Structure 1
């Protein structure tokens, strides 16, 4: 683990001359959520995983969080690592951040992978997430984590894998009560600035979700892809939000195929 001057904790592994892919986790998690993905990438790709401000081992946000702050965090980290361009893979909130970055820094973005990430919510869904933000503000991340695990994993998998539930639960509940809800609000309120992106996102893009992902379902994935010229969408059968942990091969197969196709064109 390394830290950049602004307090961002990161790991950078793989061959120095390999194409770079940056992995950006979701709300309440940390860079360890990519442990089911990165081992198969390390032989060929230069893989950069980092903790968002206020998560894992990174510093607290230096100002009130918003998507631009997280986009700037990534740009600063790339500069620190001497990386000019990269393909970005973002999960959930991370999928929002990579869209913001691709608008802010199109010349640095060679491709996007958007995993289980939101588009415009219905009024009821937006009301529900705002209520969870307020619950987290008053009671902390432990007040929302059990319901989150139910949304994130299929019931059978959750019951059969208590150790994994403990890992993910510990990640979420390890977040600071004074910070967590401020970043949760970015997940809730930041969506409007990346819908119908302007400037448009112009890089090759892959959008993935599970057909049973309650908050980021197939209709959202198709809507995201429809706004990015040439984007592909993949719907994973029988999986919920944390498919990357529940069934890594289901996510990794289309992800690796997309990355290899990009590499072949480079």
Structure 2
């Protein structure tokens, strides 16, 4: 685990981010209520292979709030503007939870700037029961935003009773959620809850490699969701993680990181090969 997160830069658009490592560009986007620190178990290892950019999502961490962000495409456009000014393109883009929705939307809409996409613990076509449950949580937050309902997701993200490293992992997630901007958190959570994943036709026509992964015990970003999206993408692959829940990047980094590195290297090699053939 990293002992310290590098100092953040601030983009002209108002996004806070870190940059470390060398090589082709890999962009990391965290989930609702968290901050770029959520990638703390990826940063050091991935930076050995890529120029790593981890960003605080709009309204999270040290990034400004963006009131215009009312759907996934809006969040994506803010990230795309930042990539255009501060990140070396093309990029491999990766996201976790809501961050994966943004990553997929970027890959679909900004194809020329992207070599591949990694969607971790993503959502696709929630069941009616899941939709009712998540809408109920939105209404509770609208009624009253309390510490209890802000940190409630942690109980779904980890196995209880907590054991080993999960004691610290859960404590960190609770801390990040508690310190999140209430405006930025609720704005993003409402967008996350209303989004049901990419359009089928967007996945079936995606001309880029796409890697999907989730924990087999994640009750909301289920194995079936990742498997379905991977099967729809012409170059989709899927990896399911045993005994993992929603925070798989934290809890199962030793399994996940090598897969991200391998996939990323293949994406950039394919891009270089394709560019050479066209030349």
TM range (shorter): over 0.9
Q: CA deviation at 1:227?
A: 1.9
Partner of 2:181: 176
Q: 1:141 and 1:184 mapped to 2: Cα distance?
A: 14
Alignment of 1:209 with 2:214, yes or no, is yes
TM-score (norm 2): 0.88
Q: CA deviation at 1:249?
A: 0.8
Q: CA deviation at 1:240?
A: 0.3
Unaligned stretches of 5+ residues in structure 2: 1-7, 273-279
In angstroms, what is the RMSD of aligned CA positions?
Answer: 1.8
Contact between 2:69 and 2:75, CA under 8 Å: does it hold in 1? Answer: no
Query: Residues 118 and 141 (structure 1 numbering): CA distance in 2 closer, same or farther, change over 3 Å?
Result: farther
Partner of 1:110: 115
Q: 1:186 and 1:263 mapped to 2: Cα distance?
A: 31
Q: 2:160 and 2:247 mapped to 1: Cα distance?
A: 12
Partner of 1:237: 242
Q: CA deviation at 1:103?
A: 1.8
Partner of 1:71: 76
TM-score (norm 1): 0.92
Q: CA deviation at 1:207?
A: 0.2
Alignment of 1:10 with 2:14, yes or no, is no
Deviation track 1:123-163 (CA, whole Å, cap 9, x = no partner) reads: 11001111111222233262334431121112254576433
Alignment of 1:50 with 2:55, yes or no, is yes
SS in 1 for 2:246: coil
Contact between 1:135 and 1:143, CA under 8 Å: does it hold in 2? Answer: no
Deviation track 1:41-76 (CA, whole Å, cap 9, x = no partner) reads: 212211111111110000011314311111111111
Alignment of 1:218 with 2:223, yes or no, is yes
Partner of 1:190: 195
Unaligned stretches of 5+ residues in structure 1: none
Alignment: residue pair count: 263
Q: CA deviation at 1:98?
A: 1.0
Deviation track 1:96-136 (CA, whole Å, cap 9, x = no partner) reads: 00111112111111001100010001111001111111222
Task: Select which of 135, 159, 170 maps to 1:154.
Answer: 159
Task: Select which of 163, 169, 173 maps to 1:164.
Answer: 169
Partner of 2:148: 143
Q: 1:132 and 1:191 mapped to 2: Cα distance?
A: 16
Deviation track 1:241-266 (CA, whole Å, cap 9, x = no partner) reads: 00111121122132122123224433
Partner of 1:126: 131
Query: Residues 171 and 225 (structure 1 numbering): CA distance in 2 closer, same or farther, change over 3 Å?
Result: same
Output aligned runs, 1:74-89, within 5 Å: 74-89=79-94
SS in 2 for 1:182: helix
